[in-house]
Structure 1
Amino acid sequence: MNYQRLFLSGIFLSLFMLSASAKTFIIGNDSTTVRTSDTDYADELEKIRMHMPDIEVGNGISFQPKNKRYKLTMRIRMQNLVDVDFNEKFEAQDIDARVKRLRLRFDGYIYTPKLTYLVQLGFSPYDMKTLPNGNNNIVRDAMIYYVPNSTWNIGFGQTKIRANRARINSSSALQFVDRSIVNSEFNLDRDFGIFGEYNQHLFGSLDLAAKASITTGEGRNWGNNKGSGLAYTGRIELFPLGRFTGKGDAMEGDYEREQTPKILLAGAYSYNDRALRAQGSNGDKLLFDQTRNLSSYFVDFIFKYQGFAFYTDFMGRISSSSPLIKSGENVEQYVLTGMGLNVQASYLFRSNWEIALRNSTIMPDNEVQPYANYRSHNQSTFGVTKYLIDHRLKVQADLSYNYKNEFVDSDYNRWQLIFQIELGF
């Protein structure tokens, strides 16, 4: 019995001595043994710890090593909606229930915070609609930016054209279920090219932002633009009462509840040389390999103060030649030239319930009206939003009434009721 105790004591003593010269630590599910001195072990452990990621859940999931040589933030968001259309007697005609938007976004920097990137993919049928030239449409943004300081930056790749504010704002930052019919008709959407931005404080409380781009002119994921020219876009923004709180100028409504009045006044102009598509960088491909030189103009105004928000934008499109695409004497297609006006106002209560009103009108040029079959198209919308976690988690409902001043009466849905849940992180 004494021999057994002596034998076991020897084993335990040997294990103790081995443990004094070998350290074991766990990384994920793997067990790694480092045989080194105590001093070297501490240095090795610190080196490994420096390369482990920091994970932050809130504004996306961020991954960054301790040496900060790069950063990756992943964001996911979705919009689920039910859309019911009614005739003039408020009898249900169509029901549409679907995932409208499903987006996966990556952004961050690599090597240095001055070299940033943005990638965004869309996976819903709405996001992936096949282009008129047959290309797929999953990639929304793919940008590399050089940001030397807070004053200016330059980027190369595919992203939104900086034209009208409603299109620049993310669809996750809207106070209605979707953007206005005016924006849908006249906006420039995304394109591939070179983008630049300049920000400067002028004097007093006046700030200025200037944005410009030279792009292919055919829109995102188009590729070969044989036979067409480029698109040139510039935008000027003035903040006469200083910058908005946070990203208040990029979000509809006044979720930040500005403590002092804030104003944005902006204008933009875009020239698309020999555009291949009916809306320049968007819309159907023009028939018979025809092109049009298209000019687009935009003016928008934002006012926010203590939960109240007012926003209006005016925009239009001009063609340097006839907007009608003919085969002989027959008009086969048209470019909708004309103008549109959108006005909306809202109030956010302390309970984070918001009510909003919007009125939007499209007015085609006289030459186009007979083929569009209306002199004007008006849509009035009443919206209610409950913000649960700002714009990242919200519940929305819109009720809209459509009216067209038509040449020939047609049966179209006058009323539209939409319910939507937005979730993003």
Structure 2
Amino acid sequence: MRNKVKGVLIALFATAALGNVQAQSENKTKFGKGIQFVAADSSFSVKIGARFQTLYQGSSNPATKEWDDRFLIRRARLKFDGFAYSPKLEYKIELGLSNSDIGNDTPEQTNNADNIILDAVARWQMTPTLSLWAGQTKLPGNRERVVSSQKMQFVDRSLLNSRFNLDRDAGLQLHNEHQVGTVILREIGSISMGEGRDITVNNSGGYDYTARFEILPLGAFKGDGDYVGGDLEREQTPKLAIAATYDYNDNAAREQGQLGDFLSAQRDLRTVFVDAMFKYRGFSSMAEYANRKAPDGAVVALDSLGNVEEAFTTGNAFNIQAGYLFPANWEIAGRYTNYEPTAGIGQREQQQYTLGLSKYLVGHSLKVQSDFTLQQEQNRDDRYQFRLQMELAF
């Protein structure tokens, strides 16, 4: 309750502040684009956006032979972005208000924050091609994670992402983009705390270092579509993006690097991602491969019976998905994900087969999505999952 009250107070404060400047601001409004204000002297701008996802989720329970289901608010977000002092200095603030957004991983550690702040980052465009980011935001990891949860092709991200994504972290990032003929090249590097978002204690290990390289050999996607699920822009010429990321988390303290429980010992984690996005005339496809290793061994502790009690999540995963958007803005999509954990860490190999159906009413700002998944896990009975979700964003 304390977390939600704090989030509401922040939202009210921001709204009141904007009310004071409305008289001297220019209001530019369009559904899905937020409420926008520009100061009369053009010294700053702010855009306010809000969105939420209502979700029904049900799955078979092989143990009880029952259907377990629930309704929930999967995500509820407030967004603020714009520029300050100069258009070259942009900022973004995003707050998460639902229980799933807040999700304190370590409630017993009272000196950790409560995870309301998702993004709080300033971006300075130093040159026409080079920008410096400072603050907390998503690391330049796998493509699926960087794609906004508002703009996904399915109800939620894949098993690959839930096991290996780098998530958000606080630190510095350098982004460079340049063009050679029609080919677009991007280089991104970051140094961050390594323990994830909203951590207020001193760094418990070393820092996290990430490097990513992207190539778009057929030119730019419309509407930054290389980081948007589905081909809502209906690209008239083939578009392709290929990328690779290497991440080194020095003396990681959490079982998934920036996510999961804090463990009693630390390990160096090395993660590699390779991914690609292709779009053409309503057809889209994305593929990703992830591999994570702990060179000094992933297992930290065993119980008295020799079972794994603490271990870092390591191994590899592959995800591929594809969909087609029909002229009436219905999309059908399929996804296959395979997860192979490192032997001995106490996790099972899994495969997931997902079929999705979506209706886009106003792009990704107002849509209804559903998917059905067959989950196969080593030495366990198959499970089935159905999800139905509405996204509303303004």
Cα distance in 2 between the residues matched to 1:119 and 1:49:
20
Please, which runs of 5 or more residues in structure 1 have no aligned partner?
Answer: 1-28, 30-47
- Are the aligned partners of 1:159 and 1:190 in contact in 2 as well (CA < 8 Å)? yes
Q: 1:89 to 1:226 in 2, by over 3 A?
A: closer
Matches within 5 A, 1:27-38: none
Q: Which residue of 2 aligns with 1:212?
A: 189
Deviation at 1:417, TM superposition (A): 0.4
Matches within 5 A, 1:18-417: 51-58=24-31, 59-87=33-61, 92-132=66-106, 133-134=109-110, 135=112, 136-203=114-181, 205-287=182-264, 290-326=265-301, 330=306, 331-368=308-345, 371-372=346-347, 374=348, 376-406=349-379, 409=380, 414-417=383-386
Q: What's the secondary structure of 2:81's corresponding residue?
A: strand
Q: What's the secondary structure of 2:262's corresponding residue?
A: coil
- Are the aligned partners of 1:88 and 1:415 in contact in 2 as well (CA < 8 Å)? no
Cα distance in 1 between the residues matched to 2:204 and 2:24:
51
Deviation at 1:306, TM superposition (A): 0.3
- Are the aligned partners of 1:218 and 1:225 in contact in 2 as well (CA < 8 Å)? no
- Are the aligned partners of 1:216 and 1:225 in contact in 2 as well (CA < 8 Å)? no
Report Cα offsets for 1:196-237 as digits up to 9, x if no partner: 10000023x211011111000000011224430000001000
Q: What's the secondary structure of 1:64's corresponding residue?
A: strand
TM-score by length of 1: 0.83
Deviation at 1:88, TM superposition (A): 5.9
Report Cα offsets for 1:336-382 as digits up to 9, x if no partner: 211000010100000000000000010012233xx21x2x2011100
Q: Which residue of 2 aligns with 1:418?
A: 387
Cα distance in 2 between the residues matched to 1:143 and 1:52:
24
Q: Which residue of 2 aligns with 1:41?
A: none
Q: What's the secondary structure of 1:54's corresponding residue?
A: strand
Cα distance in 2 between the residues matched to 1:191 and 1:49:
34
Cα distance in 2 between the residues matched to 1:117 and 1:335:
34
Report Cα offsets for 1:301-344 as digits up to 9, x if no partner: 11110000111000011002111112587432111211000010
Report Cα offsets for 1:129-158 as digits up to 9, x if no partner: 113234311000001111134411101100
- Over aligned residues, Cα RMSD in angstroms? 2.0
Q: Which amino acid aligns with 1:73?
A: K
Q: Which amino acid aligns with 2:135?
A: G
Please, which runs of 5 or more residues in structure 2 have no aligned partner?
Answer: 1-18
Q: What's the secondary structure of 1:248's corresponding residue?
A: helix
Cα distance in 1 between the residues matched to 2:28 and 2:65:
51
- Are the aligned partners of 1:85 and 1:93 in contact in 2 as well (CA < 8 Å)? yes
- Are the aligned partners of 2:61 and 2:68 in contact in 1 as well (CA < 8 Å)? no
Q: Which amino acid aligns with 1:118?
A: K
Cα distance in 2 between the residues matched to 1:270 and 1:77:
31
Cα distance in 1 between the residues matched to 2:303 and 2:386:
43
Cα distance in 1 between the residues matched to 2:316 and 2:391:
31
- Are the aligned partners of 1:278 and 1:336 in contact in 2 as well (CA < 8 Å)? yes
Cα distance in 1 between the residues matched to 2:22 and 2:77:
32
Cα distance in 1 between the residues matched to 2:72 and 2:66:
18
- Are the aligned partners of 2:251 and 2:266 in contact in 1 as well (CA < 8 Å)? yes
Deviation at 1:51, TM superposition (A): 3.0
Q: Which residue of 2 aligns with 1:4?
A: none
Cα distance in 2 between the residues matched to 1:87 and 1:218:
34
Deviation at 1:53, TM superposition (A): 2.9
Q: Which amino acid aligns with 1:380?
A: Y
- Are the aligned partners of 1:86 and 1:92 in contact in 2 as well (CA < 8 Å)? yes
Deviation at 1:117, TM superposition (A): 0.8
Cα distance in 2 between the residues matched to 1:92 and 1:308:
37
Q: What's the secondary structure of 2:99's corresponding residue?
A: coil
Q: Which has the larger radius of gyration?
A: 1
Equivalent residue pairs, number: 368
Cα distance in 2 between the residues matched to 1:314 and 1:353:
28
Q: Which amino acid aligns with 1:169?
A: V
Q: Which runs of 4+ in 1 moved over 6 A?
A: none
TM-score by length of 2: 0.89
